[in-house]
A and B are shown apart, each in its own frame.
Chain A
Amino acid sequence: MGEHILQNVDSLFPRLRNWGTRATGNLNRHWDRVRGFLLGTRSRYGLLFSTVVYAVLVAIGFVYLYPLLFMLVTSFKSPSDLLNPMVRWIPTELYLGNYIKAFRVLNYPSTLLNSVLVSVVPSVIQTIVCSVIGYGLARYRFPGKSLLFILILLTFIIPPQNTVIPQMLAYRRLGLLGNIFSLILPALGGQGFRSAIFILIFYQTFLSLPPVLEEAARIDGASEARVFFSIAVPSAVPAYIVSLIFSIVWYWNETYLTFVFLEGGIQTLPMQLSKFVQAYENLYPPGIVSIFDRINEAVKLSGTFLNILPLLVMYFLLQRWFVESVERTGIAGE
């Protein structure tokens, strides 16, 4: 599309071009070279165009990352840096005290382990179940299939608060409240967090795979389950990876359901973060500790950063899978 913009720019300055053609050949050649450098040629973008594109992207990128930068910088500020209005972006010293406190307040090792458990186990189950359902929808014809699609979309739309209370009461009766099973059970039934999206991802994936191999296996006498596990699953590995990592991220960040179902039982990182002030004051009672050890925004933001740190690590390790996910699974536009 760059070329089209360039042609447009060219037509904006007809007088310049006329001047260029009227001038001597030598001047003309120079003019062409300068213009090519600034505005680009057929084969590459010009300096002017690239500068504008990069400027816009960097500016928006900065605005995008501003909350993160702010958090990171503030979390390294010592109490005296916080009070000093001169210190805005560069703390005077690399102060780790906030992190030490936040680490203790969050009870980091055990809540981290809980968060990993609570996000990985339901995600694995949700991915497997959604793939089975997606396969059924992609490969078989049965009555009521279109109704099923409508209902699957409906589960995506229904706000969680419309179903959460009876679920919670049922789990309480079964003694599952505060237990990881209260998250596993919905995942088993394809009603986990955003299951509908994953079902559609697998539906798209299996639909795009040629059914020839599966038919050949069937003729050779393989059962339906065998066909699914030994032929369909291995050819859909990218969809499994994408679903699994998105599922983990969304389960990790989901707080509404985990609050209702796990409160009083398993403590996850986001849950602990949301009662950070209270937990802090239990550990460091405000009347007893010195004024520098009172809670401040730097400690809170260190806690927030510790909260997202595992996700950031996962993102940078697996970023290729994240950013290429939509193209790989082809969920766009269908």
Chain B
Amino acid sequence: MKAGNRAPLLRYRTRRALQGLAFVTPWIVGFVLLTMIPLFQTFFYSLNQVIVSATGIEQTFIRWQNYTRALFTDPTFVELLVEYVVETTVSVPIVMIFSIIIALFLNLKIRLRGIFRTVFFLPVVITSGPVIRELVSQGAATVPMVAQSPLILNLLAGLPPILRTPVNYLLTSFILILWFSGVQILIYLASLQKIDRSIYEAAAIDGASAWESFWRITLPSLSTTNVVVAIYTVITLSHFSESKIVRYIYSQTYDIKGGIGYAGAMSFLYFAALVVILLLVYFALGARRKG
């Protein structure tokens, strides 16, 4: 009993802190070795011209040239980055509103509730990059009657270009956007079930309509959940391996003209865009909570 002998020497609180640190040590080691060092390494590569050969890696320091190249001379990257920002900011509210509506429906005491829940969660289980790619390429990701009807196509042609991209995106990948709502529906459902029913009863006695209780009771109670759901949605959409920009960066890694350095610079620009979106979402939802 070595620990027993040493115990009185250390103060109780110090001993507890050390024990706690022992539990999280694997994470700290893993974080430093597998996340922090590679992150700095990628950043270092992004400031260099990196050439991988059979003998090793050659690096020439070129400061911010990879970054300026991505932002000012590579039209594809800027286009994809803008597209990514637009698509994400369009998708997040849709996913959120859709998940709230479905969660409200599934929260009703109706029959077959379990079956509907199973259906709406199914995509989470089967969504992988190659599967989505096959479905999209076969035109199964959109409802064909809607996306190809002449009325819609005419409407689309009449829109200004700023609006055309998001609307077109909506039409062609509507089901896909909905497919990203599985986990979110469950999160909302769990939060809805936590709201005290007696608040609704009290409001109903005071003459509040269902509409009023939704805006005054349900929505305010979901404010924390909204932030969780929004952040989760942004991250899942951004990390999806089939997103065009992720694939472009990946393809540039092995490109002779691009290489590791250039891909690293683009990764960091992408990361920056992701953080900006997260901050936007956070403040947009935070502001509403106060107001």
Contact = CB atoms under 8 A, between A and B. Distances in A.
A228 B19 CA distance: 12
Interface stretch (A28-36, A90-98, A184-192, A279-287): A184-192
Contacts of A57: 105, 116
Given A256-B129, A333-B228, A159 B175 contact: no
A2 B119 contact: no
B84 to A, nearest CB: 11
Contact of A64 (B22, B33, B175, B211): B175
Interface stretch (A19-27, A133-141, A233-241): A133-141
A169 B57 contact: yes
- Interface residues on chain A, size class: 35 or more
Interface string A143-165: 10100100110011111111111
Interface string B262-276: 011001101100110
Contacts of A135: 23
A315 B123 CA distance: 10
A16 interface: no
Interface in A121-139: 129, 132-133, 135-137, 139
A165 B121 contact: no
B132 to A, nearest CB: 9
B20 A141 contact: yes
Contacts of B116: 57, 61
B200 A1 contact: yes
B210 A7 contact: yes
B16 interface: yes
Nearest to B234: A157
B70 to A, nearest CB: 13
Interface string B107-141: 11110101011111111111111110111001011
B270 A141 contact: no
Contacts, number: 293
B178 A1 contact: no
Listed residue (A139, A199, A228, A311) with the most chain B CB atoms within 10 angstroms of its CB: A311
Interface in A209-255: 221, 223-224, 228, 249, 252-255
Interface residues of B, number: 102
Listed residue (B28, B107, B110, B190) with the most chain A CB atoms within 10 angstroms of its CB: B190
Contacts of B246: 159, 161, 256
B159 to A, nearest CB: 24
Given A159-B239, A161-B249, A253 B127 contact: yes
Contact of B34 (A145, A163, A199, A256): A163
Contacts of B225: 332-333
Given A61-B116, A270-B130, A190 B121 contact: no
Chain A to chain B: the 7 pairs with minimum beta-carbon distance, closest first: A189-B30, A140-B20, A136-B23, A4-B210, A253-B128, A166-B41, A190-B27
18 contacts: A1-B107, A1-B214, A4-B200, A4-B208, A67-B135, A70-B138, A74-B138, A136-B21, A139-B23, A165-B253, A189-B34, A297-B138, A303-B134, A319-B118, A326-B190, A327-B193, A332-B191, A332-B228
Given A1-B108, A163-B38, 4 more contacts: A8-B211, A157-B274, A161-B250, A162-B264
Interface of B: 3-4, 13, 16-24, 26-31, 33-35, 37-39, 41-42, 45, 57, 102, 104-105, 107-110, 112, 114, 116-131, 133-135, 138, 140-141, 143, 174-175, 178-179, 183, 186-191, 193-194, 200, 204, 208-211, 213-214, 224-225, 228, 235, 238-239, 241, 246, 249-250, 253, 260, 263-264, 267-268, 270-271, 274-275, 278
Interface of A: 1-5, 7-8, 11, 45, 50, 53-54, 56-57, 60-61, 63-68, 70-71, 74, 129, 132-133, 135-137, 139-143, 145, 148, 151-152, 155-167, 169-170, 185-186, 188-191, 199, 221, 223-224, 228, 249, 252-256, 259, 270-271, 273-274, 276, 297, 300-301, 303-304, 307-308, 311-312, 314-315, 319, 322-323, 325-327, 330-334
